Amino acid sequence: MSIAITTQIICFTVLSLVVLVGAIGVVLLESIVYSAFLLGGVFMSVAGLYLLLNASFVAAAQVLVYVGAVNVLIIFAIMLVNKKEDLKPINDIKSRRIISTSICVTLLSLLIRVDLTNVWSLASPQNSIGEESTIRIGEHLFSDYLLPFEVASVLLLMAMIGAIVLARRDVMSKDIATGLPVDQELIEKSSEPLLTNKN
């Protein structure tokens, strides 16, 4: 066994362990902040797995999108609203846990079945594209994957407009959640420097 293969196996083992332990930690940890940071670790290790598969562009995109944008926003939101409060105890917590666990186990078994029955085409040194993958991804995005790509961008645009509507409450006269008239004091005024009004 050559040194390169040994290194790959060690890296793969460490990365998969981090992914598994981290993912379990995200679900089971009580502290939401720890969960969010562990999620970042899981995303990073997944990027490492992509690197092992010679997909460096996908790995960098994974880091940029999932760690740099999604995870940062999650942590940002948690920290903006992070109040130390005791959560109300839920009555039928046991039955809820049983139901959610059974759903998760079913999904997992489905995934394992797919993994075992599907015939995976393994990359050989002949058909691996390596550094050329960036160009290939671009070609695919503008040819056969054009429609999904555009639909995804429309989805993002819709989410963005929705977020702006929610954030700028002066668009609506009534609060969506309560039905009460919107407190106009909360709406951002056009900012004028304090000193200009003094004279």
- Looking at this protein, which amino acid is placed at residue 108? L
Among 26, 38, 40, 42, binds other proteins (CB under 8 A): 40
Min separation Cβ 56 and other proteins, Å:
5
32-52 and 72-80 are packed helices; what angle lies between their axes, rounded to 10 degrees?
A: 180
- The rounded distance, in Å, linking the Cα atoms of 100 and 110 is 15
The residue (of 82 and 102) whose beta carbon lies closer to other proteins is: 82
Determine which residue in the list 4, 81, 87, 147 makes contact with other proteins, applying CB under 8 A: 4
Amino acid residing at 15: L
By CB under 8 A, residue 57 contacts other proteins = yes
97-136 footprint of other proteins as x/- string (CB under 8 A): ---------------------------------xxxxx--
Return the number of the residue (12 or 57) whose C-beta is nearest other proteins: 57
- Site size for other proteins, by CB under 8 A? 30
Q: Does 71 bind other proteins (CB under 8 A)?
A: yes
Alpha carbon 69 to its chain's center: 8
Distance from C-alpha of 55 to C-alpha of 45, rounded to nearest angstrom: 14
Complex with other proteins: residue 73 or 163, whichever CB lies closer: 73
What Å distances lie between residue 4 and 10, 15, 32, 80, 121, CA to CA? Answer: 10, 16, 39, 46, 23
Greatest pairwise CA separation for the chain in angstroms: 83
Of 108 and 135, CB closest to other proteins: 135
Residue 56 lies near other proteins (rule: CB under 8 A): yes
